[in-house]
Structure formats: structure tokens, C-alpha cells
Amino acid sequence: MPLTNCKRLAATCLVLLTPALATASDTELAELKQQLLKLQKKIEKLEAQQKRKTKETKPASTIKVGGAVRTTLSHTSYDDDNKNRGGDFELDVFRLNFSGNIGGFGLNAEWRYFDYMTAVKYAYLYYDFAKDWQAQVGMTKVPFGNWPYNSHSWFFGTTYYVGLEDDHDMGILFKRKLADNWQLDVGFFKNDELGGVDGYVESRSDRYSYDIVGARDTSDGIYDDPTQPLGEYNTFSGRYGYHFKHKGGTTELGVSGLMGDLHNGIEKAGEYQAWALHLNASIGKWNLQMQHGEYEYDIAGIDRIAVGAYAFYDSIAAEATMSNFNVAYNMKVKLGPINALQFYNDFGIIYDKSDNSSDTWMNVTGVSMSAGAFFSYLDFVNAKNQPFVGGSIAGDSDDTERRFNLNFGYYF
């Protein structure tokens, strides 16, 4: 019986019994008092249960804080000073992660400190507004390509350096969780994470994700500050993935696409778009990733674009084709503190470039190691015209560069 009905019944009984109380004997009065006392205790018990149930169902506002400290030891073929020193050991990143619940809304955020800059990787509120559907608002991930990464190594894939892997922008993302073998991510992004072409920031290159920051004139150097600012805005992005089970595991087949506008701070300056077909298969201990697609920045008379990230400017062709093939093998082991290994080889290439520069390719052979709160990457990289391996995607070198890299991290 509902609590309000119990109270109403008790009050009614008291009214009805009032005339009889005047003629009742002492024994009858005593029995009636005991019955009323029992009824009162039952009502108090029901009230306590109702309060406890209300308290348990109301989500508590909680924020959890975690993070990581990562260091890198590298030895390169393209830096004579590095080779003479036998390599360099440096701080990679110190990061803080925040997650939790505020007033029924979820929160996720990550802040990163580097020696040369600080950056917010992502920061958004989320809400499960329907069965299998979630909305994310803020600096959230742009849905595109193999998810969550088109790579296994510390270096990401070649797609990362053209802004099409692990990119985060300002907007709203609707995510359909995996159900009935398919999932869908659809987002609208008003501008990049630093406020667009005229965002109030000290440097538009101080960011984690690669984004367009300007157009390149024929007289511009590859690494020059952009003299013709540009920014992406009003971007629509979608990613569809179909999952199916097979002997030994599961496979996702997917398609991604995005399109948006470009602004020069005064008016619309052009448009851009990209598409990709992708596959991510887990077969026993093996993982296979394949992806193929194209991107295009459509600006009159422009064949090269300035991009920014990690506190410096670089360049990419305004239009190009991208292909990736990655394979990994997972092992559970007991090697001292190490309990899991993943061996991998990631290969990516960017070609058919609009600026007629040479192909960019990168091959990363490596192993990642997990040991409790510690996680490490050991990578050997061979690459040509690849950022962070002695080149640029807009480069024209015929040399294959090499980099040995050990990245060691502690997560808390």
C-alpha cells in the first residue's frame, strides 16, 4: 500500500473511532492504543524505506581524477646531434584525466602538459537520452575511420598527421551504441578546438590534434607561420560500422565521411571533405586494420595547406589519397612484471598529392608492453617525408629516415 494511503487510512480510523472512545472500557482503550502504536511504527518504517530508496536512485555528483606520466628515449638517423649523444631521453607528457557525474550528466576531460605547451585533448558533457543513444557536447572526438585509432603504435598512423585520426573539435556528437550488429556516430562541429580562425589564443599551433590553420602561397616555407589564415567551421561528420561474428572473433566493416566549410576570418574561403572505407578484424590473437580514403581542401588557386599541432606549423597537400594496412598479435605472458605484449606492424602511405610532392609513407614495427600501471611502446620506424621522422608530408626527400623510440608511461 502506498505511504500516503496508509496515512489517510490512519486519519480516517481515528475520526470514525472518536465517538466510540467516549464509551469504551479501559481494557478496550489499551488495546486500541496498542493497535494505533503499531500502525504508527509501520508508517514510520515505510517513510524510512521510501527516503532510502529515493536517495539510492538519485545519482551522486562525483568526479574522479587520474592521469599519466610518459617519457621517451629516441635515437634518430636525421639528427646528427642526437646521434652524437647516443639518443635523447625526455619528458613526453604529463596528463590529468577527469571523469564523473554532475547533476545526472557525465563528464570526460583530459589536460596535457608538454615541455613546450599545454593543451586540452577533449572536454565534454554527455547524456544517455534514449536506449542505445548518447549525446556529447563540448570538445569531443570527430568520428572518422578505424575507431578508436587507425594504428597500434605510439606514432599513430599517417592519417593522424592530416587531421583524420584522433581529432577533437568543438561541437555535438550523437553516438549509437553497438546494438543489432551496427553502430552510428553523427556529429556537427562548429569549429576547431581553439575557437576557429579568429580564436582568442596565443598560438593556433598549441594543440593536440592536427587542424588546418592557413593556406600556403608558393613563396611560403613548409614550416613558416601561415600568412593566409584559414579555419574549418560548420563541419558534419559521420561514421557507420557493421559488426559481425565469425570463427575466431569479430570484424567491423565501416564507412566514414565528413564535409565542412573554410573561413579566412572575413568570409567563406572554400570547402573541404574526406571519406574512408575501413575494416577492423580480431581473429583469435590477431588484429587486422585496413583503411582507404581521400581528403580535399577546395580553395581557389591553393594546392598546399598549413596545419598546426604540438607548437609548430607544418604543411600538407590540399588533396591526397590515403591507404593503411596494420597487423598486430596479442600475447598474455609472465615476464617479471610484464603481463601482456602486443607485437605490431603499421604501414601507411599518402600519395597522389595535389602539390606534386613525393609520396609520404611510414612503417612502424614494434611491441607494446603492459605491466600493471605501467605501459610502454618500443618502436622502430622507417619513413619518408613523415612528420616527427625527419620530414614533412609536403616534403620532397628521397631519403628513408629511421627512428628508434622507447616510450614508457605510468598511469594513475
Indicate the domain borders of the chain. 3-54, 63-411
Predicted confidence at residue 22, as pLDDT, reads 55
Predicted confidence at residue 180, as pLDDT, reads 94
| CA–CA dist 363, 381 (Å, integer) | 6
DSSP 400: P
Confidence of residue 34 (pLDDT cuts 50, 70, 90): confident
DSSP track, 212-276: EEEEPPTT--TTSPPSEE-EEEEEEEEEEEEEEEETTEEEEEEEEEEEEEEE-SSSEEEEEEEEE
- With a CB cutoff of 8 Å and minimum separation 6, the contacts of 85 are none
Residue 111, amino acid: W
What is the pLDDT averaged over residues 176-187?
96
Model confidence over 296-306: pLDDT tens digits?
Answer: 999 999 999 99
pLDDT at 390 over 90: yes
Confidence of residue 103 (pLDDT cuts 50, 70, 90): confident
**Around 165, how many Cα atoms within 13 Å sit in the side-chain half-sphere?**
24
Single out the residue of 276, 270, 314 nearest to residue 295, CA to CA: 276
Mean of pLDDT over the chain? 91
Alpha carbon distances (Å) from 381 to 111, 134, 278: 28, 38, 23
Single out the residue of 109, 129, 260 nearest to residue 187, CA to CA: 260
Order of strands across the sheet with 228-229? 228-229, 211-215, 304-309, 312-317
One CATH from 3.40.50.300, 2.40.160.10, 1.10.340.30, 3.30.450.30 for 63-411: 2.40.160.10
Grid cell digits, residue 405: 623510440
pLDDT at 15 over 50: no
Alpha carbon distances (Å) from 97 to 47, 67, 303: 40, 5, 39
What is the pLDDT averaged over residues 273-287?
98
**What does residue 158 show for φ and ψ, rounded to 5 degrees?**
-60, -25
DSSP track, 159-203: GGGGT-SS-EEEEEEEEEEEETTEEEEEEEEEEETT-STT-S-S-
Q: Which helix (H) or strand (E) holds 132?
A: none
Q: How far is CA 392 from the centre of its chain?
A: 25
| CA–CA dist 288, 299 (Å, integer) | 36
Predicted confidence at residue 229, as pLDDT, reads 96
pTM for the predicted model, two decimal places: 0.85
Alpha carbon distances (Å) from 251 to 70, 95, 112, 242: 32, 33, 33, 8
Counted residue by residue, the chain has a size of 412
Confidence of residue 54 (pLDDT cuts 50, 70, 90): low
| Residue environment code for 221-243, b if the CB has 16+ CB neighbours within 10 A, otherwise e | ebeebbebbbbbbbbebbbbbeb
| Across 12-21, 204-213, 234-243, least confident range | 12-21
Predicted confidence at residue 31, as pLDDT, reads 73
| CA–CA dist 248, 298 (Å, integer) | 44
